[in-house]
Structure 1
């Protein structure tokens, strides 16, 4: 059989990772907004000798760096989607980008705690009007960025990719939310300090915000780690596959299902049957809505022990 004829049986293991994802362009837009705001605040801080503006500008820069990791992950996954070094494509680069973003969120929360405790032990005089202005502007910018990133995206083929699937996008979104949360809490604390003299609320609320951000970080670390470590799919997914195949003649004796990219699974199934059909027929039984991009099926005759695989 010629190579051309054999190529019809060869699976393309890019699994759509060579396509540009909506989250990539949206993240780039958010980076542009963030960098613009960073430059404005740093320049204004130098012109008006405002440490508050300078600090917030540098803070914007740190998040722009984190978002750049997300964009790099998108580009890398697309560029090397067809590289044969990756057995199941580059889908896990998305999870790796999300994992990196989650780590940076954790570091950000620790820095928030450190700075808040330092302010409690060594209070400084707060320029309330200027600080409130910075916090309000930051909140508006982050609200705009959150709108750009959105909650879910259409791939263009009728399927949807939510933050739960696109870990890279989720990391970017959580960085924006962390900034927005910081701004909201800062505004509340600064208003209380200005009108009621409760300056202590500024560092206290900083610690509260750090705890919330840390929880987001841990949640994202767990979900991305599940993908990176090939954790078995949920009982719901496993149950759907078993119910689609098993009956009085067919029994699934070994089943592995794991994520290979945003909203995509690979599976390996061993079936014992008293009246076996071809592995290809069993593949057709798999539910389409589970987005199983790669399936390896092994079939054994219950009595003879002879097996077939595909």
Structure 2
């Protein structure tokens, strides 16, 4: 019987988001500074657009903070005898937490804006306009910092989506401030609040769905498990493939395990090497646990309850 791994341990480089600690830290500082400015001016001017955007900015700061904490936690708490996969799932939990926060704030902002449409308060346009311009500049910088990392890490993508939502929110505040300043139309501010909430909600659902997909250990997006099973079964010497599992530990860390039944005279080392090469080159799965077994052992697998 042969039993092997693509690696004897988890990759030393860590998860994908671990490479973006500085970018996350910079985005956190930028967000916290602008949150303070937006909240102070929003309360001083009674601008719902600013207050609602400040509430969303708060979730942005909390979200980026959670993402950064999760990365540092995963980096410092590597695999142990009792935590064989380390703390890498903390990054996915942070992404899900971001989604929950975004959903709650977006719903609150939308509700509050709708209730104010019937009797919108007078809001000075110039302070709102100036803060919106500052917010757009801050969000553009954060956007550029996180853009590349969002392609590789679900955790960084959660923070990145919040920055994009903040950027759109700042644009909405900018428009409402300009309309209020130029025309004095009171409805511009609550309408901007509604638009911000409606923009955030669908992106929140997408982020939550991706995080839950990983937590439920579904196959990675883009991996056809049926095709992988068939390719493994076609390897020379392989009679059957069973107990095939493919899942994502955290962003950029796909994992697989499988049992390969072989003929009695088969060179198990050659089968193991071929299967590892197939997983790596065809599916970018670097960490795989493969059990190469004779028919007698395969019969016992068939008796298992799950």
TM-score of Structure 1 vs Structure 2, range by shorter chain: 0.7 to 0.9
Q: For 1:51 and 1:29, how far apart are their aligned partners in 2?
A: 30
Counterpart for residue 187 of structure 2: 200
How does the TM-score come out when normalised to structure 1?
0.79
How does the TM-score come out when normalised to structure 2?
0.80
Among 79, 91, 94, the alignment partner of 2:76 is 79
Among 296, 300, 306, the alignment partner of 1:305 is 296
Q: For 2:7 and 2:182, how far apart are their aligned partners in 1?
A: 70
Confirm or deny that 1:287 pairs with 2:268: no
Confirm or deny that 1:210 pairs with 2:197: yes
Structure 2: which 5+ residue stretches go unaligned?
300-306
User: Measured at CA, do residues 116 and 44 of structure 1 come closer, stay the same or move farther in structure 2, by a change above 3 Å?
Assistant: closer
Q: For 1:165 and 1:19, how far apart are their aligned partners in 2?
A: 6
Counterpart for residue 254 of structure 2: 265
Aligned length in residues: 288
Q: For 1:175 and 1:185, how far apart are their aligned partners in 2?
A: 15
RMSD of Structure 2 on Structure 1 (CA): 3.3
Counterpart for residue 112 of structure 1: 109
Q: How far has the Cα of 1:33 moved from its partner?
A: 1.6
Q: How far has the Cα of 1:10 moved from its partner?
A: 8.7
Counterpart for residue 96 of structure 1: 93
Counterpart for residue 208 of structure 2: 221
User: Measured at CA, do residues 268 and 42 of structure 1 come closer, stay the same or move farther in structure 2, by a change above 3 Å?
Assistant: closer
Is the contact between residue 78 and residue 85 of structure 2 (CA under 8 Å) also seen in structure 1? no
Confirm or deny that 1:180 pairs with 2:177: no
* Most deviating of 255-264 and 290-299: 290-299
Q: Secondary structure at the match of 1:268?
A: strand
Q: Secondary structure at the match of 1:286?
A: helix
User: Measured at CA, do residues 127 and 215 of structure 1 come closer, stay the same or move farther in structure 2, by a change above 3 Å?
Assistant: same
Q: How far has the Cα of 1:81 moved from its partner?
A: 1.3
Among 148, 152, 158, the alignment partner of 1:171 is 158
Structure 1: which 5+ residue stretches go unaligned?
1-7, 154-162
Q: How far has the Cα of 1:112 moved from its partner?
A: 1.5
User: Measured at CA, do residues 234 and 59 of structure 1 come closer, stay the same or move farther in structure 2, by a change above 3 Å?
Assistant: closer
Q: For 1:19 and 1:249, how far apart are their aligned partners in 2?
A: 36
Q: Secondary structure at the match of 1:30?
A: helix
The CA deviation string for residues 68-102 of structure 1, in whole angstroms up to 9 with x for no partner, is: 11111011111111333323232222111111111
Q: Secondary structure at the match of 2:292?
A: strand
Is the contact between residue 276 and residue 300 of structure 1 (CA under 8 Å) also seen in structure 2? no
Counterpart for residue 133 of structure 1: 130
Is the contact between residue 120 and residue 190 of structure 2 (CA under 8 Å) also seen in structure 1? no
* Most deviating of 172-181 and 236-245: 236-245
The CA deviation string for residues 155-198 of structure 1, in whole angstroms up to 9 with x for no partner, is: xxxxxxxx254111011111111111111122223333444554
Q: How far has the Cα of 1:66 moved from its partner?
A: 2.5
